[in-house]
């Protein structure tokens, strides 16, 4: 049953211990498989869903997931709050803490400002994407991998594209599983930030995972389990270089990448731009699990909400 006095926040995958990371991933996979019990574990809770930026999957996932768990939701759009008339972010967070149990937010605020809303006594805050990280996407991806392969340990994952918030969170999460080889092929000047890379390498050194980043598409690895990409133009960002498309052009996922990895699956966090980061042949092909991945966002969101509110996953 739910423990009604817990208020844990998820701003980064690093907010989860190794044990908690595995538990949330496993719980998400169990929800997806229909083996999580179907209990209304958030009955009586009120979840705020606040999006100042566009969202299809994340907003729908947390709204649907909260309702399925028995919570009530309050949805806020970009023009609904007094932040628009000059109220401080701090005061907004204090008010949320007096009226909500959880706030799921994609605000455009820096991650540290979003963290200031978290109140261990009153309010759980879920980062639904900042410029720095997209932790709920990584948890979705790992739950999808768990459901597909049975285990995450030992998987060989190649990410192609910008070292954006999705890539950052995926690196921070996969690097904590023994035997995983996570290789990023990012365009020159568009790789992981030094801070994210250092944190991921620290995790990998402790767990026995391998993290590799290159800025070309030469000598691609063989026998890959997963090819992963994201759209080139990340939500809410603008490229500093006018010729950025020329830089990104070689970093497209095409059918030819399966030549040496015929059993590999394809993942994409969506939305996709066919003909940019991926060809239609791949995205809509038989090896693509992108839509399964999208559906799993709801199942993973349910696991995140339960973890934030202290639900006993073993119950």
Secondary structure element (H or E) that encloses residue 192, with its range: none
User: What pLDDT is stored for residue 147 in this prediction?
Assistant: 97
Residue 300: pLDDT over 90 = yes
pLDDT band at 313 (very low <50, low <70, confident <90, very high): confident
Cα(80)–Cα(52) distance, rounded to whole angstroms? 9
Helices (H), 133-267: 135-149, 165-174, 194-207, 244-248
- pLDDT tens per residue, range 218-272: 999 999 999 999 999 876 678 888 899 999 999 999 999 999 999 999 999 999 9
**Per-residue pLDDT at 3 exceeds 70:** no
Q: What is the pLDDT of residue 38?
A: 85
State what percent of residues in the chain have pLDDT above 90: 90
In this structure, what are the phi and psi dihedrals at residue 266, rounded to the nearest 5 degrees? -115, 135
pLDDT of residue 238: 82
pLDDT at 1: 41
Q: How far is CA 54 from the centre of its chain?
A: 15
**Whole-number percent of the chain with pLDDT over 70:** 97
Tens of pLDDT, residues 177-200: 999 999 999 999 999 999 999 999
What's the pLDDT at 236? 66
How many CA atoms are closer than 13 Å to the CA of 181, on its beta-carbon side?
A: 10
What's residue 2's pLDDT? 41
Q: What angle do CA 42, 96, 299 make, to 5 degrees?
A: 35
pLDDT at 5 over 60: no
Copy the structure tokens of residue 214: 């290159």
- Is a pLDDT exceeding 60 seen at residue 315? no
- Segment 293-303 shows an average pLDDT of 98
Domains and CATH numbers, the chain: 13-131+298-308 (3.40.50.1370), 135-294 (3.40.50.1370)
Average pLDDT, the chain: 95
123-140 mean pLDDT: 97
Contacts of 267 (CB under 8 A, 6+ apart): 141, 144, 226, 227, 228, 229, 289, 290, 293
Minimum mean pLDDT range among 13-22, 133-142, 227-236, 261-270: 227-236
């Amino acid at each position: 049953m739910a423990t009604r006095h817990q208020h844990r926040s998820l701003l980064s995958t690093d907010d989860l211990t190794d044990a908690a990371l595995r538990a949330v991933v496993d719980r998400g996979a169990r929800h997806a498989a229909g083996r999580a019990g179907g209990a209304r574990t958030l009955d009586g809770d009120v979840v705020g869903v606040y999006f100042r930026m566009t969202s299809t999957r994340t907003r729908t996932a947390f709204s649907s997931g909260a309702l399925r768990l028995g919570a009530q939701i309050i949805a806020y759009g970009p023009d609904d709050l007094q932040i628009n008339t000059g109220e401080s972010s701090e005061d907004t967070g204090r008010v949320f803490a007096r009226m909500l149990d959880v706030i799921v937010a994609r605000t455009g605020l820096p991650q540290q400002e979003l963290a200031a809303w978290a109140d261990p006594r009153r309010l759980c805050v879920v980062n639904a994407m900042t410029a720095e990280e997209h932790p709920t996407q990584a948890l979705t991806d790992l739950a999808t991998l768990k459901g597909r392969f049975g285990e995450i340990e030992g998987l060989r994952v190649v990410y192609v594209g910008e070292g954006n918030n999705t890539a950052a969170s995926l690196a921070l999460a996969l690097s904590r599983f023994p035997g995983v080889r996570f290789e990023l092929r990012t365009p020159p000047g568009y790789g992981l930030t030094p801070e994210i890379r250092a944190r991921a390498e620290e995790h990998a050194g402790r767990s026995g995972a391998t993290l590799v980043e290159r800025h070309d598409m030469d000598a691609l690895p063989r026998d890959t389990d997963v090819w992963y990409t994201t759209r080139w133009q990340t939500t809410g960002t603008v490229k500093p270089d006018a010729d950025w498309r020329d830089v990104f052009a070689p970093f497209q996922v095409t059918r030819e990448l399966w030549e040496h990895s015929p059993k590999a699956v394809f993942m994409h966090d969506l939305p996709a731009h066919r003909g940019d980061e991926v060809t239609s042949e791949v995205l809509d092909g038989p090896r693509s699990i992108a839509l399964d991945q999208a559906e799993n966002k709801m199942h993973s969101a349910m696991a995140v909400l339960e973890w934030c509110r202290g639900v006993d996953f073993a119950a």
